[in-house]
Structure 1
Amino acid sequence: MPDVLIYSSNFCGFCRRAKALLEQKGVAYREICVDGDPQSRQEMMARSGRHTVPQIWVGETHVGGCDDLFAAEFGGELDVLLQAEASAE
């Protein structure tokens, strides 16, 4: 299974939606909560160029936020990305 990383906040509805989609697909993920953790938030912003949560990576590929994740799912790209990353392991 590919390494899926999500930077999130406990108070973010978009984070909950993104995690629910991944869970529905049976995708395990590693979560870094940026609440009260300025170092993790700075790391997320440096990696993504964005300041909003969630920010999601599949392997080394930055998927983006919740809307980006759902767009990839509806367009079929998420499964392709997950399979490609799983094959690369």
Structure 2
Amino acid sequence: MQTTATRLIARAQQAGSLRPDYTGQDLLFIFGTNAILARAAATTAPDAWRRAVALMLDGLRVEAAHPLPAASLTTQQAYTVMGRLAAAV
């Protein structure tokens, strides 16, 4: 899945529709945090995750991009964080 995601990210960046500093590790981080939101809101607001995804996608557009306050996670950092997120739920 990581290889496919990396290819899709590269294609979107080459097409000029995805901000150039977005990485596969960012994708993992965003999916992981959104999964936690979706589970936590499942019975109270089952569509809350849709809003979060829409906001995230809008922020990934080239025309919405601003300099980011921190570097992307390394691959190892992303896997460590995702493991901790999975253990927390």
- Coarse TM-score class (shorter-chain normalised): 0.3 to 0.5
- Counting helix residues as a fraction of each chain, which structure ranks higher? 2
Point out the structure with max Rg over C-alpha: 2
Structure in which a larger fraction of residues adopt strand: 1
